[in-house]
Amino acid sequence: SQQGEEDPQALSIQEGENATMNCSYKTSINNLQWYRQNSGRGLVHLILIRSNEREKHSGRLRVTLDTSKKSSSLLITASRAADTASYFCATDAGSARQLTFGSGTQLTVLP
Amino acid sequence: DTAVSQTPKYLVTQMGNDKSIKCEQNLGHDTMYWYKQDSKKFLKIMFSYNNKELIINETVPNRFSPKSPDKAHLNLHINSLELGDSAVYFCASSQVRGIDTGELFFGEGSRLTVL
């Protein structure tokens, strides 16, 4: 079954603006990961945040995790046209030995 | 060097045919996966193998049969193809440590079109 739901489904912004994507999930997790998928390509891992962490940064990416609300957000600061892609959250429930992916957010950054 | 490679990238075939997709990883990971991505980009796990042993088999029709000759390879064979099998199939690998699935490394995908 689908674990994560992402919001919004699609987001269109101007270059230089910040983009925020949200992910909600249903069960307890070991960690949560964010992936990016360019059109016609495979998914690429961006960042992993563990269940005992609240915030993590990597370059222009900032991820937060609220386990009490079962939600996470991905913030991309100072977006670029090259950030145009689909972004997916994925949850690792631990013993399941698999990642369950959300429905994805299609981000379009206009030059 | 490509970490996870899958072939073919595109596959167009008639209903009822049998086809295979091959996947190889050179990362030394012990776990490999097949995911199916539908037209709405929803990704669903199909199978997972750990050291050549099947550990996850989601509710996939038994027309789909994975085969792992060694831990670096996980192939997918599909019998009697149906229109609904049209999708992009992704192979992935990870290094599982304890209960931690780890980061997944994906192939570029194989787009299957059944006519």
Q: What is the pLDDT of residues A13-45, one digit of tens each?
A: 999 999 999 999 998 899 999 999 999 999 999
Choose among B42, B112, B3, B114: nearest CA to A45.
B3
Q: List phi, psi (to 5°) of A4.
A: -105, 145
8 Å CB contact of B106 and A43: yes
The pLDDT, as a whole number, for residue A1 is 44
CB B104 within 8 A of CB B92: yes
Q: For the segment A62-102, what is each residue's pLDDT rounded down to a tens digit?
A: 999 999 999 999 999 999 999 999 999 999 987 667 889 98
Q: What is the chain A residue with the closest CA to B34?
A: A98
Percent of chain B with pLDDT strictly greater than 70: 99
Of B41, B90, B99, the CB nearest to A94: B99
End-to-end CA gap in chain A: 37
What is the Cα–Cα distance from A85 to A70, expressed in whole angstroms?
24
Question: Considering only A43-47, B14-18, B31-35, B100-104, which range has the smallest mean pLDDT?
Answer: B100-104
Give the CB-side neighbour count of residue A23, counting CA atoms within 13 A.
Answer: 30
The pLDDT, as a whole number, for residue B4 is 97
